[in-house]
Amino acid sequence: MSLIRDLTFKQIRAYEAVVRTASITRAAEELCVTPPAISSQIKTLKHLVGTEILTREQDGLKPTQAGLEILALHERIMSAINTSAQKLDAIKSGKAGDVGIAVVSTGKYYAPHIFSAFMAAYPDIKLRPMIGNRRMVLSALENRSADLAIMGRPPARLDVEATTLGDHPNILIAAPDHPLAHAKNIKPEQLLKHTLLLREMGSGTRMLARRFMDRFGEG
């Protein structure tokens, strides 16, 4: 039974060098090791494969049928390494990777425009949007599940960089037959005489409304 799962990349690389140079000595020189070290790698690889992997011909060492499969494996490994190297370079330069973006509920109508522009500029970056209230967004920033956030007001307790994306006006909505529905220049004191429906605890909109009412001592 083949022990192929136990082989190492060092063994595969040594074998590829031997086949390419047709010589254990030249392979050793190329890999900066001794010929006995290369011979040991080839011997172990042969044992793991369970059959001959080299044949000696007039012009040097050549791969057997089993050896050709090892060379194909080497090619696949090198291709995977090169692909990963390119992706890692892209991640380090900020052009690829995975970015979590937490968005407050009221921003979910505005965020898609930002997402679209971002994805067009950075097609290799995967976005992970998270939608919730302000409390959820703050939690995502604190536990680092979110790298960016779109919210009404940046948190004071977190060390973050903030920039303005646009206006975020807050308005009151009332039924058509509400006493204040058609009033002009409504004073805050007038609002305090009516029932206000607010969002859930942890919502930034709720916090803003409560602060507005607290300014007049009735919140």
The model's pLDDT over 56-90, given as tens digits with 9 standing for 90+, comes to 998 899 999 999 999 999 999 999 998 888 878 87
The answer to whether 134 touches 207, Cβ cutoff 8 Å, is yes
Instruction: Choose among 161, 196, 166: nearest CA to 178.
Output: 196
Span of 1-10, 141-150, 172-181 with lowest mean pLDDT: 1-10
Q: What domains are defined for the chain?
A: 4-91 (1.10.10.10), 97-150 (3.40.190.10), 170-219 (no CATH)
Tokens 């992997």 belong to residue? 53
The answer to whether 53 touches 46, Cβ cutoff 8 Å, is yes
Residue 126 phi/psi, 5-degree rounding, is -90, 125
218 has a pLDDT exceeding 60 = no
Separation of alpha carbons 170 and 15, rounded Å: 70
pTM more than 0.85: no
217 has a pLDDT exceeding 60 = no
Tokens of 18: 């031997």
**Cα-based distances in Å from 92 to 101, 143, 145:** 19, 22, 19
The model's pLDDT over 24-34, given as tens digits with 9 standing for 90+, comes to 999 999 999 99
The model's pLDDT over 83-115, given as tens digits with 9 standing for 90+, comes to 888 878 877 777 778 889 999 887 878 888 888
